[in-house]
Amino acid sequence: MSNAVIVADGSFPVHPIPLEILDKAEVIVCCDGGVENLVGYGLKPDAIVGDMDSLSDVLKDMFADRIYVDNGQETNDLTKTVLWCHESGYDDLVIIGAGGKREDHTIGNISLLVEYAKIVKVKMVTDSGIFLPFMTSCRIGSLKGQQVSVFSICPGTEITSTGLLYPLNNRKLNNWWEGTLNEATGDSIELKFTGGPVMVFLKFI
């Protein structure tokens, strides 16, 4: 498995954690609209994927040797980029810059993580924390006092937790808010569930 950082066409990060991830990236793959922000930050993409409708002619010329055009209309550029990474052998992915502009796009990008998790290891890092998708029961590293939110993609999923201040006991989360604003009590959280998937958000401390 190889590592890659995907830069989406949302707001470019300012928090030191996603910026450090970007600075240390082995491979950087951009959705076409994310290139301008990346270049403005001082880095260059190793690959650019998308329909190229958001890429200027100047950048198209500058990076002509690493552009991979996908004009498909059934998926967005982020999904095209994740699929390209998977097909190219990059199966450990960190997504940054996937939110901050339009709320509907942000919700869509977050929800897509559970689809990506079917084929790759993936997480989304924002300026406030990390989204982690899980298809099966899981144990997650945490810090005491760290704020945690749990989202059930399928409302019928029963979730039981250990390591949370407000435990979930065979709880069905019927709305997105119901598992939010919890707190880790130690160095790990365990979620047991069947039917999933489940999304976890860990806020930076």
Q: What CATH number did the domain enclosing 51 receive?
A: 3.40.50.10240
- My answer on whether 119 and 154 are in the same domain is no
- Give the SS3 label for residue 66: helix
> What Cα–Cα distance (Å) separates residue 186 from each residue in 24, 164, 183, 203?
29, 8, 9, 14
At 190 the pLDDT is 98
At 104 the pLDDT is 86
- My answer on whether 142 and 190 are in the same domain is yes
Angstrom distance (rounded) from CA 190 to CA 85? 30
> Where residue 2 falls among pLDDT bands split at 50, 70, 90?
low
What's the distance, CA 94 to chain centroid?
6
At 75 the pLDDT is 79
- My answer on whether 89 and 147 are in the same domain is no
The residue range of the domain holding 162 is 133-203
Residues contacting 111, CB < 8 A, separation 6+: 153
Supply the Cα-derived Rg of the chain in whole angstroms: 18
Q: Provide the token pair at 136.
A: 């099966």
Mean pLDDT, residues 199-204 taken together: 97
- Give the number of domains in the chain: 2
- My answer on whether 117 and 142 are in the same domain is no
- Give the SS3 label for residue 184: strand
Residue recorded with tokens 């810090």: 143
- My answer on whether 155 and 72 are in the same domain is no
- My answer on whether 100 and 171 are in the same domain is no
> What Cα–Cα distance (Å) separates residue 164 from each residue in 60, 170, 173?
48, 14, 15
- My answer on whether 118 and 141 are in the same domain is no
Mean pLDDT of the chain: 93
Angstrom distance (rounded) from CA 158 to CA 169? 8
- My answer on whether 90 and 157 are in the same domain is no
- My answer on whether 95 and 41 are in the same domain is yes
The answer to whether residue 1 scores a pLDDT higher than 50 is no
Residue 40 phi/psi, 5° resolution?
A: -65, -30
Asked which of 127, 144, 178 is the last residue of a domain, the reply is: 127
pLDDT tens column, 85-130: 999 999 999 999 998 778 888 998 999 999 999 999 999 999 999 9
- My answer on whether 89 and 6 are in the same domain is yes
Asked which of 75, 109, 127 is the last residue of a domain, the reply is: 127
- My answer on whether 190 and 143 are in the same domain is yes
pLDDT tens column, 3-27: 999 999 899 999 999 999 999 999 9
Contact 17, 34 (CB under 8 A): no
- My answer on whether 21 and 68 are in the same domain is yes
The DSSP symbol for 146 reads -
- Give the SS3 label for residue 8: coil
In percent, the amount of the chain with pLDDT more than 70 equals 99
Contact 52, 60 (CB under 8 A): yes
| Listed residue (154, 158, 153, 145) closest to 184, CA to CA | 145
Asked which of 98, 127, 156 is the last residue of a domain, the reply is: 127
At 82 the pLDDT is 96
pLDDT tens column, 39-84: 999 999 999 998 888 788 899 899 999 999 988 777 788 999 999 9
